[in-house]
Amino acid sequence: MKAYRIAIVGLGPKGLYAFERLLAQLGKLEIDKNIEVHLFEKSGNFGAGEIYDPVQPSYLLMNYPNRNINVWPSEILKPVVDNRLSFAEWIAKATYSKDSNLNDHFASRSMVGYYLTECFEKLYRAGISSYRIVKHRSSVVSIIKKAGVYELGYLDELDAKDQFLTVNNILISTGHCSWKGQLQEKEKPESTSETRKSFIPFIYPVDSKLSPIQSNTQVAIKGMGLTFIDALLALTEGRGGRFIKKDDESYIYEPSKREPGKIYGFCRSGLPMIPRSTGEGKKPYLPVFFTLRSIYGRIVPGDKPSFLKNILPLYILEAEYNFYKVAFHKRGLNLDPDDDVDRFRCQILKFHKDYPNEQTFNFENIFKPVDFQNPTYNLGPLAYLRYVMSEAELGSEKSPFMAAVLTWGNISEQFSAIYNFGGMTAESHRFFDLNYRSQLNRISYGPPLTNMKKILALMEYGILNLDYSKNPVVKRKNNKWTLKVANRVPVNAEVLVDARIPTNTSRDNWSELLIGLQNNELLREFIVPGKESYNTGCPEVDRSGRLIDSKGNINPDITLYGTLTEGITYDNDSLSRTKNNFASDWALRTAMSYSNIGLNSNIKTLRKI
């Protein structure tokens, strides 16, 4: 019997989780196992991928506390290896740390990478005793179906040769690389070296990608999310600058004279992310207003909920409840945990009557550069940054503002259950994706407070300028970039850095692999039906992650997992083992599929005898 070949394309964290479940399921089989497992990871960092490269600079921090990182699942079927440590346990052992707060810290991405690769090596060593496991430092660029099996075309990263492999079963977990179609075009060599030096379309790995930027140059950075922070730190701390901590835990910046002369950050909203302290998210959260029962109880059975009519109002109520829960507590009062809106409003009215100077909740102000205590005018970039940092220092148990801001992260699981697989109306999906997704990411999934203190120090020193941060007009002329905003003199930058992570805004962003799958009719775009159907820019899968082909048929042999499904699913955190977990179902199906083939082969062999 020919070997049954399984391929995992993309061996970052999601591919690692799938590999772990696959070995666990295959280990249950009681028939002879003639199995090959082929693992494709172009970075060579098996288990960590490109984002969690173990050799990246240590100043690039996670925005995910240590307690949430654990390769080993809490499932009935146990992993095939012993001595399974969570990330925090692994750090304690590796560093001999006795820090009781280690669970709450934000580690470097490189440290997470070391953990992930070590877990992979444990699994790899356990698996090679039973199966042929092949590691390919390669990019899979095509998948073609031929006579019931699949031919993978891949490019070896070391010798740049095109190669092919026939496989039976495939899981694809290529993460953000899935949406690098346009980006790859931008990264191609252009006509002159001067043009290449003036535009950097992607910052990772930071050491090599940002190296063309010379000291004392003027730099503009597009995007002000987590990648923006990484770019800033790479151009300052990464070039020998020092952040010196003061007694009040704030920083001052001491330059190295090798950093840019000025850095201009900008994005559509013009606002930085709201940071989080280490203690956020430790306690389980039980929604009061934003429940599935409340949402579906307000619509006709069989209808889909509307984001504006059925979902947003309950989110606002939930944020308002969290805001006042803290405000009441600061006055020694308790807010009744009751989902009766009228009673809730009565409590709020009485509270403001008794305490007229207390700040009033205004949902729109969550997204504006204002102080909740005095929201009559907009704060400047420096003042706003100081405000949100002071609130983050207090945390969501003491700051009504932070309690409201972090509400979305607490209810995202409930929202995912509604959003996934076209659960809202087409108009709602479009409206949410275009108007709310990025705003909610900015306020809910911000960086650790330590990193934002460094950003503040760079502003106070004067190297970082956010005066042109709100959606400037950007024009290129003579290999320079001009930033224009109303009521300010335009400024020029020698280099423009795009500090945004690729997303699936349309099929134009699809990778070569996805485009090939579509051209070969193995894939189609997920479209939410409606009066005006919505093209999500995401490949369509069923609720187990199995690919849907051009004719609407389920392909049991190809499964997508992780960021690649963002748009048909929501909130695919790269390190989560539970959110939109297609790995466990895939591993079980794969083992069952091989088991059936193995049993049939054994029957044929007996008949021949």
pLDDT in tens, 206-234: 999 999 999 999 999 999 999 999 999 99
* Residue 416 scores a pLDDT above 50: yes
User: 182: pLDDT confidence band, cut at 50, 70 and 90?
Assistant: low
Over range 281-299, report the average pLDDT.
93
Residue with tokens 């959110």: 579
Q: Which is higher by pLDDT, 354 or 282? A: 354
For 356, phi and psi rounded to 5 degrees?
-65, -20
Model confidence pLDDT, tens digit, residues 17-65: 999 999 999 999 887 779 999 999 999 999 999 999 999 999 999 998 9
Q: Tell me what pLDDT residue 604 has.
A: 35
User: What kind of fold does domain 4-63+109-126+145-180+504-608 have according to CATH?
Assistant: FAD/NAD(P)-binding domain (3.50.50)
Report the pLDDT value the prediction gives residue 158, as an integer from 0 to 100.
73
pLDDT at 502: 83
CB crowding 168-200: b at 16 or more within 10 Å, else e? bbbbbbbbbbbbbbebeeeeeeeeeeeeeebbb
Task: Determine the distance from the C-alpha atom of residue 162 to the mean position of all C-alpha atoms in its chain, rounded to a whole number.
Answer: 31
pLDDT at residue 404 above 80? yes
Rounded CA-CA distance 260/292 in Å is 50
* Weakest-pLDDT range from 175-179, 341-345, 549-553: 175-179
Instruction: Tell me the range of 153-157, 181-185, 508-512, 581-585 where mean pLDDT is highest.
Output: 581-585
Q: Per-residue confidence at 99, pLDDT binned at 50, 70, 90?
A: confident
Question: pLDDT over 90 for what percent of the chain?
Answer: 82
pLDDT of residue 32: 75
**Tokens for 513?**
């692999």
Question: CA 208 to CA 227: how far, in whole Å?
Answer: 15
Domains 4-63+109-126+145-180+504-608 and 192-273+447-498 share a fold: yes
Q: What's the whole-number mean pLDDT along residues 239-249?
A: 95
Which is it for strands 132-136 and 546-548: parallel, antiparallel or unpaired?
unpaired
Q: For 551, which DSSP code?
A: T
Other CB atoms within 10 Å distance of the CB of residue 85: 17
Confidence (pLDDT) at 179: 84
The pLDDT mean for the chain works out to 92
| Residue 547: per-residue pLDDT | 97
3-state secondary structure of 46: coil
pLDDT of residue 508: 87
Q: How far apart are CA 382 and CA 555, in angstroms?
A: 53
Q: Cα dihedral angle (377, 439, 468, 508), rounded to 10 degrees?
A: -160
Helix (H) or strand (E) holding 390: helix 381-394
Domain chopping of the chain, boundaries? 4-63+109-126+145-180+504-608, 192-273+447-498, 292-444
What's the confidence (pLDDT) of residue 602?
A: 39
Would you say 424 and 305 are in contact if contact means Cβ atoms under 8 Å apart? Answer: yes
Alpha carbons 558 and 539: distance in angstroms, whole number: 12
Q: What pLDDT band is residue 501 in, cutting at 50, 70 and 90?
A: confident
Give the separation between CA 267 and CA 310, rounded to whole angstroms.
30
pLDDT for 347 equals 96
What's the CATH number for 192-273+447-498? 3.50.50.60
DSSP three-state, residue 516: helix
424-475 tens-digit pLDDT: 999 999 999 999 999 999 999 999 999 999 999 999 999 999 999 999 999 9
CA-based angle 516:517:523, to the nearest 5? 145
